[in-house]
Amino acid sequence: MTPAVSFTKVSRHFGAVRAVDAVDLEIAEGEFFAMLGPSGSGKTTCLRLIAGFEQPTSGRIEIFGENAVGVPPYRRNVNTVFQDYALFPHLNVADNVAYGLMVKGVAREERSRAAEEALALVKLPGYGARKPGQLSGGQRQRVALARALVNKPRVLLLDEPLGALDLKLREQMQEELKSLQKQLGITFVFVTHDQGEALSMADRVAVFNDGKIMQIGSPQEIYRRPATRFVADFVGSSNILPPDFMQRYAGQRRWGSLRPEHIRILAQTSGDGVPARVAALSYLGAGTRVSLDAEGLRLHAVVDSGGALPAPGDAVVLTFNRDHVHVMDEPA
């Protein structure tokens, strides 16, 4: 099957800065694909390259098998939802949603009907007469989404669209976006620096750093089997185990990753394990994060808040199942 989006050795340079550096990428039709990484990692530039707002310095971009290099944004079957929504304050909601259809010359009656259908799709029926200033942040985000969907794009690009929302609303919108994508069956490409968003919504995730893709995989693969120290540290909280530690306690002289939930903390008299001392406790609600000093390493464990907890300064022993230690691709 032809990919919805394909990058072949795509680079984008701004002077001496390599914002995107020889990226190879394929996004399947109908996939919810997340580009995850810190600020300046290249993820947003890749999104802009798909949209046509940027052109590659080198390499080839295809959208559904057709060369997109040099093709202007308005001739690509994609639409973008921006973080700041970019709504016109002087237009009402219906006219904001229908703006793209007006530019295309669609008759007023037809575009009004399409706008109402798009607003119903994002659970805002009857809001067409309101102005953006009369809406909450979450409602404005839905209007921006409706404005993109009314054009029936084959690829929807979302540039950190939930970043301005509070936590509760952001979690709600994550569920609704995922449900909407499944309902419509179109390709969603979602850019975020929030690993929780990427893991909870995406079918696959590409982790970016320094203009390159560090790893592509399902959320489970990225979390359980990070390829590099960067991925292990950036996606979720992980303990990075150096080769000397791995040799002593896991039998392999390689870099390893161990998630905090897989560490057990025992009293010092409980037997064999890694000797450690409790440095600090951080209450997280259902769990408590325990910071530990162990053989010169700062490790973290997460334990049930309802159970017995050690105190700062306590000497303890750490144990873990070797099967939970992931050996990474990087050499010792």
Chain length of the chain: 332
Q: What local confidence, expressed as pLDDT, does residue 23 receive?
A: 97
Q: Summarize pLDDT for 214-256 with one digit per residue, the tens.
A: 999 999 999 999 999 999 999 988 999 999 999 999 888 999 9
Q: What local confidence, expressed as pLDDT, does residue 103 receive?
A: 87
Tokens of 50: 């798909």
Tell me the residue ranges of DSSP E strands in the chain. Answer: 5-14, 17-27, 32-36, 58-63, 66-67, 78-81, 155-159, 187-192, 204-209, 212-217, 239-241, 256-258, 264-267, 274-283, 287-294, 297-304, 315-319, 326-327
pLDDT bin (cut points 50, 70, 90) of residue 164 is low
Nearest-Å Rg of the Cα atoms of the chain is 24
- In this prediction the pTM is 0.89
Q: Summarize pLDDT for 1-17 with one digit per residue, the tens.
A: 899 999 999 999 999 99
Q: Summarize pLDDT for 112-155 with one digit per residue, the tens.
A: 999 999 999 888 998 999 999 898 888 888 898 999 999 899 99
Q: What local confidence, expressed as pLDDT, does residue 269 receive?
A: 67
Q: Work out the average pLDDT over 46-56.
A: 96
Residue of 174, 220, 176 whose CA lies nearest to 201: 174
Cα angle: 26, vertex 38, 173; to 5 degrees? 75
Residue of 48, 46, 36, 61 whose CA lies nearest to 217: 36
CA 65, distance to chain mean position in Å, is: 25
Domains of the chain and any CATH numbers: 5-233 (3.40.50.300), 237-327 (2.40.50.140)
The gap between the terminal CA atoms of the chain, to the nearest Å, is 39
Q: What local confidence, expressed as pLDDT, does residue 299 receive?
A: 96
As a whole-number percent, the residues of the chain with pLDDT over 90 amount to 67
Q: What local confidence, expressed as pLDDT, does residue 270 receive?
A: 63
Residues 6+ apart with CB under 8 A from 268: 275, 314, 315, 316, 317
Q: What local confidence, expressed as pLDDT, does residue 58 receive?
A: 96
Query: In one letter, which amino acid is 77?
Result: N
When the pLDDT of each residue in the chain is averaged and rounded to a whole number, the result is: 91
Q: What distance in Å separates the CA atoms of residue 165 and residue 173, rounded to the nearest whole number?
A: 9
Helix, strand, or coil (residue 136): coil
Query: In one letter, which amino acid is 55?
Result: Q
Q: What local confidence, expressed as pLDDT, does residue 60 receive?
A: 97
pLDDT bin (cut points 50, 70, 90) of residue 201 is very high
